[in-house]
Amino acid sequence: MRVVVQRVSEASVIIQNEEVASIGNGLLVLLGVVNEDSAEDIDWLCKKIVNLRIFPDEKGVMNTSILDADGDIIVVSQFTLHASTKKGNRPSYIKAAKPDIAIPLYEKFVERLNADIDKPIQTGEFGADMKVHLVNDGPVTIIIDSKNRE
């Protein structure tokens, strides 16, 4: 499981000209799933995300988490995070999990993250053509792969 975590001052998701998610201060999390991912990956990643100290403290130092900042989160599925670009110029997405595997893991990820921050997580729509708007604050962008834990 791979995520791109972006600290944002605002973010939104639009599907077919309708805004389906919108937050102010918080995190935009892009999530990619592979066939080998499991509940263990979800648990590890969610714990890592909610405890990342990437928000400024009273001295302006990145030393507080999303929990401390009382921010919101949008999670967007993004199979292209597992693109392989080794051969040629057209990325291969063969490593990305198919919907029958990815959707349940995506939903469990959102449920777990929601439980961890104890506030509603907003989402895009799995497999939809989404327009994601964001103002990256900092900019702060962190890439985390659950297969690189050690």
Distances (CA, A) of 48 to 17, 53, 112, 131, 132: 33, 10, 12, 26, 23
Among residues 6, 78, 122, 123, which one is catalytic? 78
- Report the C-alpha gap between 48 and 100 in whole angstroms: 26
80 among known catalytic residues: yes
Among residues 6, 55, 79, 123, which one is catalytic? 79
- Report the C-alpha gap between 5 and 19 in whole angstroms: 21
Among residues 6, 55, 64, 80, which one is catalytic? 80
Q: Which amino acid is at 68?
A: D
109 among known catalytic residues: no
78 among known catalytic residues: yes
Positions marked catalytic: 78-80
